[in-house]
Structure 1
Amino acid sequence: MATVGIIAEYSPLHNGHVHHFTEAKKLSGADRSIVIMSGPFTQRGEPAAVSKQARTEMALHMGADLVLELPVAYAVQPAEWFAFGAVALLEATGVVDSLCFGSEAGTLGTLLPLAGFLAEESGALQDGIRRRMALGAGFPAAYAAAAASAWEGSLPGGERTFDAAELLRQPNNSLGLHYLIALRRLGSAIRPLTVPRTGAGFHDPLQSGSRIASATAIRRLLEKGGSPAEYMPDYSISILEREQAAGKGPLNLESFRMQLRHLLSTRTASELQHLQDMNEGLENRLLRIMPALPDFTVSGLLEALKSKRYTRTRLQRLLIHVLLNHSKEEMAPAVLARGPGYIRVLGFRESGRKLLKQMKHSAVWPVVTNPARFSHPLLERDLQAAAAFAGAFSNPSRTDLYGDYLEPPVRV
């Protein structure tokens, strides 16, 4: 039996995700599916709309057989490490035959050769990134421009078969490219597949007459008090409404305003300097800006900090690292390059139970269904992240805060 891997956040799970899941099963011919899902916090440095348990439930109702957690150490990272952590988990299960992701390109014809070139990380690429960042560009823009330039410079006679710069400007192409690079660096036999992203793009507003909207647009609608029922399957909206009625979401960065204000007001520059992504004197800039804000809000702080060099996404990730006290040492490239080191099970269907039995023999890392019986530095950070996330609920219970210890994996 074949198994397809999917990497997702499902914040929240909407009709576009269902389309991708259906196409992934069809394109791969797989009988079973494993979803690698971010936990409480996501790649763009935001809290997930609702808890990882609620989003796992959504995924299982959609038809996923097994849902595994991407550790927060990889989930709140730039595309390179987000992709590496997720692909390393799929590889470590020993049961995944293919990985299917969405892309604007909709084909591997352009992505594969570019990924093969970039996986080598040539000197020209690194020099190009450094040069552009020295001129004030943020890392994503510097990487995209340098990668396109290095790629085109490597072609015979400079002949261009496609516009690499335009391809890399598209967010799903860029993330998919990093999945392909991770597969190559891991020497994985997992077969990559891609389906065209359909409907709304990442930054697109809600479109009348369409039943597909981006998760970003849905979260914005929720912030305004609207209902996204038109854009989500019934089971997903039902779970979302249940969580909302219980005061457990939807959350956004402002939900952590008080915690962040406290942390940023009670730490010195030297204490902040040790945190992940706190580079180039950002700690001093933060401490100068804090007293100047007439009314502290997370959005106001981000607006004051944002610049051409420091994108909003990078700064959002920085604030999550502040919230969770992530140090540079524990998230150094040499540490992340080892891979997660464990496989955390969030939930499964009956068919997923069979996958778990198979993984007892095939997995190269421990399969964790009860975190109380397993110890790992990155897992400890996952448990802390879950407690911090639940701390923003309107009235968090002991189970909300410590559910990782108290509750079994979700089953549907």
Structure 2
Amino acid sequence: MRTVGLIVEYNPFHNGHQYHLQQSQKITGAEAVVAVMSGNFLQRGEPAVMDKWARTETALRGGCDLIIELPAAYATQAAEWFAYGAVSLLEATGVVDAFCFGTESGELDPLREAARVIANEPPAFQSMLKGALAEGAAYPSAYSAAVSAYLQSIGNDRAASFPFAQPNHTLGLHYLIALERIGGAMEPHTLRREKSDYNQTTVTDQKIASATAIRKLLLEQRQLADCKAYVPETTYDVMAREWTAGRSPVSWTEFTAPLLHGIVTRSPRQLAEMREMTEGLEHRMLGALPSLQSFDFEPFIDLIKTKRYTRTKLQRALLSILLGHRKEDFTADKLSAGVEYIRVLGFTEKGRGLLRRMRKEAKLPVLLSAARTETPYRYLELDTQATAVYMLGQSGNDSAASMFRDYTDKPIML
């Protein structure tokens, strides 16, 4: 059974995601779909609007056959490690023949050419990257500029002119770099994003809207019905159920108090030890607190945001404080070792067949529950802690038992 892999957040699963899923199957000739999905906290350093179990259900009802979890150790990282963790997990299943990702252009060749020469980060490339960073550019911009400059320096002008700085091109490049680094056998494919851009905050089509725009409708206007046209009916049903139960939508607002507690109860030295804390950011955070007029997240992040400290960079740093993620647990050596297990969140009947194959062919142990392993996997421990924190933000939870769903909940079966 030919299988395609997808790297997703589904925050929430919308019509554009369903189109991507269907087209991915079409262009790869796949009969089944495996998705590696971020858990309760996401790549931009923010909580998901619905928990990972609700989002798993929408993905299965939307056409995925098997959902595995990308641990928070990778899911909340910048593009390089986010991509490395996701691609490594898909490859480790042993059942994924190809993977497909969306890009602004739909062109694969320039990305593959760049990935081949950048994967081992030649000294000249590293020098160009350091130079771009020294000029004050944020890391994503500096990296893209260095890629183009290096390609031009080796005479590949065609690839050098490619717009690597566009968000999905950046992610796509890192997916392919990860594939090169692990020596993966999966076939890469890409599809052009249609009708809405990755960061588009406004709705410009009757049926297709970005996840960013949909979240804006949910979190700012607090009107669930406003997003109905942009998500499959099955997604809307799950969203309505979670909304009614008070478990969604979740945003940074629900975590302001524990976040501020995490900041004020740490010294500058202790804050500096947290992941993503660089260049004296701890002093900027502590210095902004006396100017806060209210205990709200948005005014706080507005106080500390600069051209150098982008919102995404700051959210990842703040998330490390909220979750207690220290730099020493996220070194390049530790992250490059990869995930030590494959955590299953849900599957269909077809996915059950894939699981049977994985038990024979997967390169890593397959876990159906955190409670069913005696091995002290560090990233699994971090995920169970992240789940406990996330549940504190769900106002509909009336029992502390919800904090331990990683141990009590079985994979969702459709």
Q: TM-score, normalised by structure 1?
A: 0.96
Offset at 1:278? Answer: 1.1
CA contact (8 A) 1:47 1:253 kept: yes
Q: Where in structure 2 are the equivalents of 1:86-235 lying within 5 Å?
A: 86-155=86-155, 160-162=157-159, 164=161, 167-223=163-219, 224-226=221-223, 227-235=226-234
CA displacement at 1:399 relative to structure 2: 4.3
Instruction: State the 4+ residue runs in structure 1 displaced beyond 3 angstroms.
Output: 205-209
Q: Could you tell me which residue of structure 1 aligns to residue 413 of structure 2?
A: 411
CA-to-partner distance for each residue in 1:328-384, whole Å, 9 max, x for gaps? Answer: 011111000000111000000111111111111111111000211223110000011
Contact 1:119-1:181 at 8 Å conserved across structures: yes
Q: Secondary structure at the match of 2:163?
A: helix
Percent identical pairs in the alignment equals 44
**Cα distance between partner residues in 1 of 2:166 and 2:205:** 24
**Residue ranges of structure 1 left out of the alignment (5+ in a row):** none
Deviation at 1:24, TM superposition (A): 0.5
The aligned residue for residue 7 of structure 1 is: 7
Q: Which residue number corresponds to residue 77 of structure 2?
A: 77
Mapped partners of 1:306, 1:151: distance in 2:
32
Within-5 A mapping of 1:1-40 = 1-40=1-40
Paired amino acid for 2:92: A
Further displaced range: 289-298 or 332-341: 289-298
Aligned to 2:258: 259
- Corresponding letter in the other structure for 2:411: P
Deviation at 1:229, TM superposition (A): 0.3
| In structure 2, distance between residues paired with 1:215 and 1:341 | 30
Measure the CA separation in 1 of the matches of 2:238 and 2:102: 25
Quote the residue 2:55 is aligned against: 55
RMSD: 1.3
Deviation of 1:163 after TM superposition, in Å, equals 5.1
Which residue matches 2:271? 272
Gaps of 5+ in 2: none
Structure 1 position 281 matched with structure 2 position 280: yes
- Confirm or deny: 8 A CA contact 1:101 1:176 kept in the other structure: yes
Would you say the 8 A contact 1:347–1:410 is kept in 2? Answer: yes
TM-score, L = length of structure 2: 0.96
Q: In structure 2, the residue corresponding to 1:403 is in which secondary structure?
A: helix
* Aligned AA (2:298): S
Q: What residue identity is the alignment partner of 2:389?
A: A
Residue 42 of structure 1 pairs with residue 42 of structure 2: yes
2:385 alignment partner in structure 1: 384
1:59 deviation in Å? Answer: 0.5
Q: Contact 1:199–1:210 at 8 Å: present in 2 too?
A: no
CA displacement at 1:209 relative to structure 2? 4.2
Q: Return the alpha-carbon distance in structure 2 between the equivalents of residues 208 and 5 of structure 1.
A: 29
Q: For the residues of structure 2 that align with 1:85 and 1:379, how far apart are their CA atoms?
A: 14
Aligned to 1:188, the other structure's residue is in SS state coil
Q: Using the alignment, how far apart are the partners of 1:115 and 1:167 within structure 2?
A: 14
Instruction: Indicate the residue corresponding to 2:309 in structure 1.
Output: 310
Query: SS at 1:167's partner residue?
Result: coil
Provide the residue aligned with 2:329 in structure 1: 330
**Deviation, structure 1 residue 202:** 1.8
Q: Whole-Å Cα distance in 1 between the matches of residues 276 and 115 of structure 2? A: 26
- 2: CA distance, partners of 1:358 / 1:167: 40
Aligned amino acid, residue 409 of structure 1: P
What SS class does the counterpart of residue 69 from structure 2 fall into? Answer: strand
Question: Is 1:324–1:388's contact at 8 Å kept on the other side of the alignment?
Answer: yes
What SS is found at the alignment partner of 2:157? coil
Count residues with an aligned counterpart: 408
The answer on whether the counterparts of 1:45 and 1:317 sit within 8 Å (CA) in structure 2 is: yes
What is the CA–CA distance in structure 1 between the aligned matches of 2:205 and 2:29, rounded to whole Å? Answer: 31
CA contact (8 A) 1:84 1:178 kept: yes
Distance 2:35 2:205 in 1: 30
Contact 1:133/1:309 (<8 A) preserved: no
* Partner Cα distance (1:53, 1:172) in 2: 26
Q: Does the residue aligned with 1:169 lie in a helix, a strand or coil?
A: coil
In 2, the alpha carbon distance for the partners of 1:280 and 1:390 equals 32
CA distance in structure 2 between the aligned counterparts of 1:294 and 1:123, rounded to whole angstroms: 48
What is the CA–CA distance in structure 2 between the aligned matches of 1:94 and 1:262, rounded to whole Å? Answer: 44
